[in-house]
């Protein structure tokens, strides 16, 4: 091989190594899509592995990743905690644009807080029971009052867990963190019904079985339940049809919760902005007035949904209040 060829080969290998090493795990907002959601116009949450580094000092350069240091938990100083929260990830603009609204808490489908104003309470999530999600979970969860668990275990493309496996993992990873000062949530189920392709129950059917099996005060307890809801694909239903569907789902969650608090950390109507704003205008007063519903978050803070060019748009303002 000639010297020139060697130089070219070294350059190519160096470029490939740089690309692989620095590739952001958040670069594609369509990764790990929820199977039950249409793709048109929807930006899905990104599953964030524990190897992600957080830019210290509040910087968002490089999509929220920077340096080579290990992630560091950020203590919460949030006050006046209310119901409305924000679902966000590294593709979201800075959340300080939602300051001075009804927003009081945030979650990012991960156990460490991405950039968010310290005045917002952060709620960690144990997305799944395997590494990297379970890596450093107890350490990352320390100091937080509420902890959410497995993301849509009733969906194959998400946490994908049988009820029995979830109960065992929850007892091992979640229950030891519970105390008088720390409340832990049952896995966040979808709004599906029947069984999925693996024959596993979906939606509140899955949740009901989980709560029946997770009922030992010494090994497995859920302080609150959590559910996700999405409207008709592409806004094919009328606004009122989606309102009725969402209302029925919330009622099912409350009934299944059997006295536990209810969280809805993901919900969204599809379709045009006017229809989504009409939907929110109809459901938000009901959520705020329902004592059983403690927290909820619209999907999600990202340009094209709740923000435009990094600023709160009409839909974001309608939700944030």
pLDDT tens-digit series, residues 209-233:
999 999 999 999 999 999 999 999 9
Q: 225: closest CA among 212, 243, 238, 239?
A: 212
Task: Report DSSP state, residue 303.
Answer: B
- The Cα–Cα gap between 133 and 123 comes to 15
Tens digit of each residue's pLDDT (9 = 90 or more) over 56-89: 222 222 222 222 223 333 334 333 369 999 999 9
Tokens (6 digits) for 199: 């024959």
Q: Could you give the dihedral angle defined by the CA atoms of residues 94, 229, 128 and 60, in that order, rounded to the nearest 10 degrees?
A: -10
Q: 43: closest CA among 298, 318, 314?
A: 298
> If DSSP codes are grouped into helix, strand and coil, which group holds residue 294?
strand
pLDDT at 40 over 60: no
Alpha carbon distances (Å) from 151 to 129, 158, 185, 305: 10, 6, 11, 21
Tokens (6 digits) for 305: 């949904």
Q: 205: closest CA among 153, 244, 165, 168?
A: 153
Of all residues in the chain, the percent with pLDDT exceeding 70 is 75
> If DSSP codes are grouped into helix, strand and coil, which group holds residue 21?
helix
Give residue 265's pLDDT. Answer: 98
Query: pTM to 2 decimals?
Result: 0.77
Give residue 81's pLDDT. Answer: 60
- The Cα–Cα gap between 190 and 267 comes to 10
Tokens (6 digits) for 244: 């009725």
- The Cα–Cα gap between 187 and 265 comes to 11
pLDDT at 44 over 80: no
| Share in percent of the chain as helix, strand, coil (round to 5) | 30, 15, 50
Q: What is the mean pLDDT of the chain?
A: 81
Give residue 49's pLDDT. Answer: 28
Tens digit of each residue's pLDDT (9 = 90 or more) over 238-255: 999 999 999 999 999 999
Q: What is the mean pLDDT of residues 176-199?
A: 97
Tens digit of each residue's pLDDT (9 = 90 or more) over 276-292: 999 999 999 999 999 99
Give residue 210's pLDDT. Answer: 98
pLDDT at 47 over 70: no
pLDDT at 5 over 60: no
DSSP per-residue letters across 101-144: SS--EEE-SSSS--S--TTSEE--B---SSTTTTTTHHHHHTT-
Task: Report DSSP state, residue 93.
Answer: P
Tokens (6 digits) for 188: 């966040």
- The Cα–Cα gap between 237 and 245 comes to 10
Q: What is the mean pLDDT of residues 106-131?
A: 96
Tens digit of each residue's pLDDT (9 = 90 or more) over 121-141: 999 999 999 999 999 999 999
Q: What is the mean pLDDT of residues 161-171?
A: 98
Give residue 36's pLDDT. Answer: 34
- The Cα–Cα gap between 192 and 280 comes to 21
Q: How many CB atoms lie within 10 A of CB 112?
A: 21
Supply angle C-alpha 56, 57, 62, rounded to 5. Answer: 60
**Residue bearing the bigger pLDDT, 36 or 195:** 195
């Amino acid at each position: 091989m000639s010297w020139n060829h060697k130089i070219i080969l070294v350059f190519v290998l160096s470029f490939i190594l740089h690309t692989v090493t620095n590739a952001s795990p958040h670069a594609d907002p369509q990764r790990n899509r929820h199977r039950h959601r249409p793709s048109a116009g929807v930006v899905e949450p990104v599953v964030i592995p524990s190897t992600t580094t957080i830019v210290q000092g509040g910087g968002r350069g490089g999509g929220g990743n920077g340096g080579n240091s290990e992630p560091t938990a950020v203590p919460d100083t949030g006050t006046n905690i209310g119901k409305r929260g924000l679902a966000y990830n590294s593709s979201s603009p800075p959340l300080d644009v939602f300051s001075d609204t009804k927003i009081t808490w945030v979650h990012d489908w991960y156990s460490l807080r991405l950039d968010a104003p310290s005045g917002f309470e952060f709620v960690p999530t144990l997305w799944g029971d395997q590494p990297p999600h379970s890596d450093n979970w107890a350490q990352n969860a320390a100091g937080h009052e509420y902890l959410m668990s497995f993301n849509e275990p009733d969906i194959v493309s998400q946490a994908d867990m049988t009820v029995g496996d979830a109960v065992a993992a929850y007892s091992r990873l979640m229950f030891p963190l519970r105390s008088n000062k720390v409340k832990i949530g049952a896995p966040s189920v979808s709004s599906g019904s029947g069984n999925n392709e693996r024959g596993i129950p979906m939606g509140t059917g899955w949740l009901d079985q989980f709560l029946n099996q997770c009922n030992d005060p010494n090994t497995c307890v859920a302080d609150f339940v959590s559910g996700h809801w999405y409207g008709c694909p592409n806004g094919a239903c009328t606004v009122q049809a989606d309102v009725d569907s969402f209302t029925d789902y919330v009622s099912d969650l409350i009934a299944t919760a059997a006295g536990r608090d209810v969280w809805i950390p993901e919900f969204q109507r599809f379709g045009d902005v006017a229809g989504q704003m009409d939907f929110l205008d109809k459901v938000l007063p009901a959520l705020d007035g329902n004592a059983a519903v403690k927290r909820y978050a619209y999907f999600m803070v990202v340009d094209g949904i709740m923000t435009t060019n990094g600023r709160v748009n009409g839909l974001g303002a309608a939700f944030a209040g």
